[in-house]
Structures are given as structure tokens and as C-alpha cells.
Amino acid sequence: MSLAPIYDVAIVGGGPAGAAAGAQLSKAGKRVIILEKEAFPRFSIGESLLPCGNDLLREIGVWEKLENAGFLRKYGAEFCTGDGSRLQRFWFGQNMGTSHEYSYQVERAHFDQLLLDHARSQGCEVHEQTRVETIDHQTAESMTLQCAGLNGAITIKTRWIIDASGRSAFSGGKIGLHRRSTQKSRRVAIFGHFEGVFRNGGKAEGHITIARFAKGWFWLIPLAGGRTSVGVVLPSKDAGISSGRGLEEIFQEAVDSNDEVRTRLHGAKIMAPLRATGDYSWKFSRFATPRILLTGDAAGFVDPIFSSGVMLALKSAVLAAEYIVRASDSDRSLTRWECFSYTREVTGWMQQYSQIIRSFYDRAGFEVFMNPSPFLQIPGSIGRLLGGNTHPGFLDRLRLAVFHFICTLQRFVRMAPPIHSLR
Ligand SMILES: Cc1cc2nc3c(=O)[nH]c(=O)nc-3n(C[C@H](O)[C@H](O)[C@H](O)COP(=O)(O)OP(=O)(O)OC[C@H]3O[C@@H](n4cnc5c(N)ncnc54)[C@H](O)[C@@H]3O)c2cc1C
């Protein structure tokens, strides 16, 4: 066992949140260690980025590297019905101007490696294959983390902890935070990489396609080099994994029952066995204590339908780093007000998505979503949210409120044409 010198900040997890927080803190002159249980590059799901995330990638100083990494540009998103009867396409440039005209579709193994290497280049000490197991000896000024590394146990002494451990949510339970579900029923996502999937032409080649059907939805994310990430999200009770059905069987059944997806996948070849993960939205009651801040998925998980996860992870990480720098420069812990204010800000971003996610899963809401009133300029407001704008102005908030009101009305009065395949 070794006892390392005291670090300013120990970060649990080297995904996008951990790497972004590490880069920011190192730039600010803090002594930072990132502890990551896997060896990078490692597979991760969550490949579609949002243009508002570009600002954060610029802020942490990795944007140039990303621009030169050969990822496929994503100029927008399209939503369709599984039977192909409806299509609604959004272009980021039309709604957010040329500064946010595109983002990227990324293979996460490569993207996460790029971010973690960037954190290293900014001065972070990174230990891969090092799992953090417990938090001990918490005093007002410091804590110790017990880790299992490649060469045995390691003890890390630190003044601050950033939990960036993703959905495994390392610290929340350990420090007694209450975990709240923000979704009624459990879902499962089954996904894989394919070659030979149909692609749009021109600038729409990089669009993510979301195909909604009665039971769930598909994503099709085109990646550089001809690969496409394809996944289906289903209610867990309908998927039948627990009753012994194989992933291939469940996936194929969903493909076969959706003409549009079946046509796009015709002749495509799967590159590796399908994978599955639970997809259940929840969040902790608080995201900060005086010395521990929760970032990204470790604070809470937002349904992935609008591809907001990586952007929210980067955004919360950059904010957490700001809070730590401010407090540690004055040689103090976070005040109760700061803990509250960090939680409130990050929760607010998540909530921007929660309401529109509910509309997407609700049949009536989706019917309106596929026919938003151009007269009220609602598509522009939705488009900006889809681009990652978590701070809508007054008019956007008003238009989104009208949109949600129309979604509720649609249940009783026909405001938008019905979509029969969803019934
Ligand atoms: C089905 C699905 C589809 C998605 N699609 C998208 C999408 O298209 N676009 C998008 O933006 N987001 C998407 N997401 C969400 C996205 O994957 C996450 O929001 C994002 O990866 C969060 O980043 P993070 O850094 O918080 O966590 P992660 O990326 O999960 O990184 C956490 C890291 O912590 C490490 N770790 C965990 N526990 C420990 C420990 N005890 N000790 C040391 N290391 C540890 C892990 O190995 C991991 O590397 C999707 C999610 C799902 C489930």
C-alpha cells in the first residue's frame, strides 16, 4: 500500500466529465489525479454530440484536436416514424446560426481517449485500470480514497473529489444522497455497430435518425469510415431479456416490425455482437457536499433520446471545476449556498430536456412534435433545444410552453394529424 502526497482534486472516472474537469482544474494550477477503472480506449455508448457542446470543448482547449480527428460532421437531426410515413428534419444552422452549424458523430472509444489524453497534456496525473472503492477519513479539509490498481491497493489523499464515474454513480450512495427516479417505467437499449446501412446524401449524411414506433424507438448514428451505430430502446417488460430471449432475436423482431428501419438496414453487416444496457432516468437529491461534487451521469441520467448526455457531462464538469477553483483559492470548502446553487443549475439544464422527452414518449405529444406549428416558430425553438441550448430566451420559453400546452390538448382535441402506426 502506498500513501501518495495530498492532491487538490481526485477525479473518479476518466470519461468526458472526468477529463473535462481535470483539464480545467489543471489549467487553473491545481494538482489533479484522474482514477479510471478501465484501460482506454474502451467502448462506450453515446456517440452523437450537440453543437452547444462545441463551446465547452473549446473552453477546455480540445476543440482543435477534435476538428482534426476525422469524425463525421453532424449538421442536424431527423425524426421519423418506424413505418416511414412521417419525417421531420432539423438543421442546426437554420436555428442556431453558423457558429453552431454542426457538431460531430464520434466513436466514443476514440473521442474519450482524445479527451483523456488532453487532460494529461494539461498536467493531470491519470491512472487507468485503477478502480476507486471507498471514501474514508473524511475531515473538514481532506479525504482518502481507497483504490484497487494494477499493482495492488493505492490510497489517495485529496482535498476535493469530483465524482465523474458515470451511471455507476460511485459516491452518491456512499455519502448518503437520496436517488430519485425521474421516469415511470424501465427501458432497455440494445445496440451495435453495422456496415452498409443506408445514408442520406449531402450534408444530411451525418444526421442522426430517430425512428419512433409504438413500443419504442431506434437511433441510427452514422460514423466516420462507413460504420453506423444502430440501437433500439424498448420497455424492459416488452423486451423479454429476463425470460431468456437473446439480444439478436429481440433486435431483429423490432427491425422487422419497422419498414423504414428494415429498409435502411437491408444488406447491412453487424461488426461485433450486440450489447444491451438499462436506460432508466434518475438523479440524486443533491449534486454537491462541501468537498465532493457530482458531475455528468454520476449526478443523474437523462433519457438519451435527444443526445444531451455528453454535453451535460461536459457542462457540469466545467461548472464543478469553477466552483472548486473559487473555493480552494480562498482556502475553504463549498458553502451550503454553493452546494445548493450548483445542484440547482445542473438540475435546471436536465429539466430543459425532461419535459420534451415526456412529449416524445407520449403518443399525442409525438404527433404534435412531428407537426409543430411553423406559424408560432415552434420548430426553431425545438431545434435550438435539440442543438443543446439549455438557456432558452424568453421567446423560446414561451414557444416551448405553447408547444407543451398543444401536446396536452392533443389528447382531447385533434390539433395535429394522428399517427396511426403509434396506436
Ligand atoms: C443507450 C444510450 C445512448 C446514449 N446516446 C447518447 C448520445 O447519442 N449522445 C450523448 O451525448 N449521450 C448519449 N448517452 C449518454 C452518454 O453516454 C453519457 O451521458 C456520457 O457518457 C456521460 O459521461 P460521463 O463522463 O458522465 O460518464 P461515462 O462516460 O460513463 O464515464 C465514466 C467513467 O468512469 C469510470 N468509472 C466508473 N466507476 C469507477 C470507479 N469506481 N473507479 C474508477 N473509474 C470508474 C468508467 O469506467 C467510465 O470510463 C447515451 C446513453 C445511453 C445509455
Side chain identity at residue 137, one-letter code: H
CA of 213 to the centre of ligand 1 (A): 26
Residue nearest to atom 26 of ligand 1 (CA): 296
Cell triple for residue 358? Answer: 415526456
CA of 309 to the centre of ligand 1 (A): 8
Which pTM value belongs to this model?
A: 0.96
Atom of ligand 1 nearest to the CA of 35: 43
Among 310, 311, 385, name the best residue to mutate to test ligand 1's pocket (greatest count of ligand atoms within 8 A of Cβ). Answer: 310
CA of 60 to the centre of ligand 1 (A): 18
Q: What's the confidence (pLDDT) of residue 230? A: 98
pLDDT band at 237 (very low <50, low <70, confident <90, very high): confident
Mean pLDDT, residues 54-72 taken together: 97
CB 296 within 8 A of CB 17: yes
What residues pair up with 405 in beta bridges, in sequence order? Answer: none
Cell triple for residue 188? Answer: 432497455
Atom of ligand 1 nearest to the CA of 189: 1
Please indicate whether residue 374 or residue 269 has the higher confidence score (pLDDT): 269
Ranked by mean pLDDT, the top range of 21-30, 132-141, 276-285 is 21-30
Residue ranges of domains in the chain: 2-71+106-182+281-349, 187-278, 363-422
Ligand 1 environment, Cβ below 6 A = 12-18, 35-38, 44-49, 131-132, 164-168, 170, 189, 231, 277, 279, 296-298, 304, 307, 309-311, 313
CA of 342 to the centre of ligand 1 (A): 20
Residues 6+ apart with CB under 8 A from 263: 84, 198
Cell triple for residue 382? Answer: 425545438
- Condensed to tens digits (0 to 9), the pLDDT of residues 327-361 reads 999 999 999 999 999 999 999 999 989 888 988 99
Residue written as grid cell 471545476: 321
Residue nearest to atom 19 of ligand 1 (CA): 309
CB 93 within 8 A of CB 101: yes
Q: What's the confidence (pLDDT) of residue 182? A: 79
Q: What's the confidence (pLDDT) of residue 4? A: 56
Pick the range with the lowest mean pLDDT from 101-105, 135-139, 308-312, 354-358: 135-139
Angle at 65 between CA 392 and CA 353, to 5 degrees: 25
Asked whether residue 181 carries a pLDDT value surpassing 90, the answer given is no
Q: What's the confidence (pLDDT) of residue 378? A: 86
Q: What's the confidence (pLDDT) of residue 377? A: 84
CA of 16 to the centre of ligand 1 (A): 8
CA of 297 to the centre of ligand 1 (A): 6
Options 3.50.50.60, 3.20.20.370, 3.40.30.10, 3.30.9.10; CATH for 2-71+106-182+281-349 is: 3.50.50.60
Cell triple for residue 331? Answer: 482556502
CA-wise closest residue to 265 among 249, 252, 247, 250: 252
Asked whether residue 3 carries a pLDDT value surpassing 60, the answer given is no
Asked whether residue 82 carries a pLDDT value surpassing 80, the answer given is yes
Residue nearest to atom 30 of ligand 1 (CA): 166
CATH number of 187-278: 3.30.9.100
Among 36, 146, 251, 303, name the best residue to mutate to test ligand 1's pocket (greatest count of ligand atoms within 8 A of Cβ). Answer: 36
